[in-house]
Every structure is written in C-alpha cells, then in structure tokens.
Amino acid sequence: MEIIEKIRQELEDHSDPETKMTGNRFFKEEVKFYGVKTSVVSEMSRKYFEQVRLLSKDTIFNTCEELLRSDYNEEAWIAFDMANRISKQFTPGDFERFETWIDKYVNNWAKCDTLCNHAVGTFMEMYPQYVQELKKWAHSKNRWFRRAASVTLILPARKGKYLKDVLQISDILISDNDDMVQKGYGWLLKEASKEHLNEVYAYLIKNKSIMPRTALRYAIEKMPPDFRENVMKK
C-alpha cells in the first residue's frame, strides 16, 4: 500500500537515536523503535488518517494490521489511533479483531495501553455485554491479555462506570505475580476511586493483606492522605 510506504518513510526521516534510546529505558523487554517523538507520531497519525477516512472500515482496519506486522511501536501507535478514529463504525463483530490484535501484535505495555485504553475501551462502552469477555482475558496465560482486562476499562471507570466489573476483574488478578498486571489493575482501581472512593477504599482495606504492594500503591495514588495511610498500614 502506498500509504504504508509513506508512513514508514516519514518515520525513518524523523528517527532520532537519542529518542530511540530514551524510549527503550521504559521497557524491560526488547522493543522496536524508530525513535520518533510522540508528538510527531500523533501529528502523522492525524494527517494520514485524513487520507483514508473515506475508505471502508475493513480497508482502514487492514491498513492498521499491515502497520502492526512491522512490530515497530510508532507504527502500532498510528494503527491503534486510526482504529479509534473510526469508533463510530464499530460493530459487535469487531471484538474478535481486537482480540486477535492483542494476541498477535501486543508485546509490551505501551501497545497494550494504546489499543485498550481507547479503541477497545470505546468498544466496551458501545457494547457493554462484552465486558464479560474481559474476565476471560483476566484468566489468560498471556500477560498482555491479563493487563488488557484491566486497562480496557480505565476510561469508563474514570466516568464511574462498571464498578462491579472493575472489582470482579481485580478479584481475578489480585494475586497475579506479574508487575505489568499488578500495575494495570492498580491503575484501574485508582481511576474507579475517583467516582467511587468509599467503595474502592473498602475493597482495598479488605484485600490489602493479599494484594501486592505495587498494585496497592497504584490504587491509592489519588486517595486522601488518611485513606492512603490506612491502606498501606501493616
């Protein structure tokens, strides 16, 4: 596809060794970067989406998938942003595609969060019956599905939605020994606490003896000082 070639050439033109080195510091695993600043990638995504926005949803999704195959983080960012930009066209059948993308192309926290915070999270608000599928993800052997189970609900939880599901997903993940998963559900609880402070606080007090400290620290970040102190008290 010509647009793919243009995107890749522009990413090459903007690549910077120092930006690449800085980006790698945020990951424990090996991650492929061109080394392009996020602000530049964001502007590129907006620009190239304008060139495809009148095409069919399937054509846009196929363009996204072609970008994902390269494994570069910047191309994944553009792909997931483009997918989110056509969210008004999402239908229930798109869930399977998103699930496949996580399985095949998500291999670090940045890709997981970029896809799930936005496109998949928007999908869940449109089709709430699929929230039950997140609980299946929470049982997955794949760490990125387990993190996705949490971070997909970040934006809905910030609005006060899905508290029961937030707590059920946290229950499933509560003893997970993967720090990426711990940070994911801790973050989710933090966002849920903005509209449901007392409920999340009660949940943390009840479970603090079995929750990893990493998850607890994330969850209490926005709570009042006395709440934070009580949760972290041994």
pLDDT 10s digits, 155-184: 999 999 999 999 999 999 999 999 999 999
Contact of 188 with 154, CB cutoff 8 Å? yes
| pTM for the predicted model, two decimal places | 0.95
pLDDT 10s digits, 143-153: 999 999 999 99
Same fold, 1-89 and 94-234: yes
Strand partners, 175: none
Q: What angle do CA 152, 161, 90 make, to 5 degrees?
A: 50
Q: What is the CATH number of domain 94-234?
A: 1.25.10.90
Q: What is the CATH number of domain 1-89?
A: 1.25.10.90
Contact of 94 with 65, CB cutoff 8 Å? no
- How much of the chain is helix, strand and coil, in % rounded to 5? 75, 0, 25
The whole-number average pLDDT for the span 15-24 is 85
What is the C-alpha to C-alpha distance for residues 34 and 102, in angstroms, rounded to an integer? 21
**In the chain, what's the furthest Cα-to-Cα distance?**
59
Domain ranges of the chain: 1-89, 94-234
Residue-level pLDDT at 234: 75
Residue-level pLDDT at 179: 96
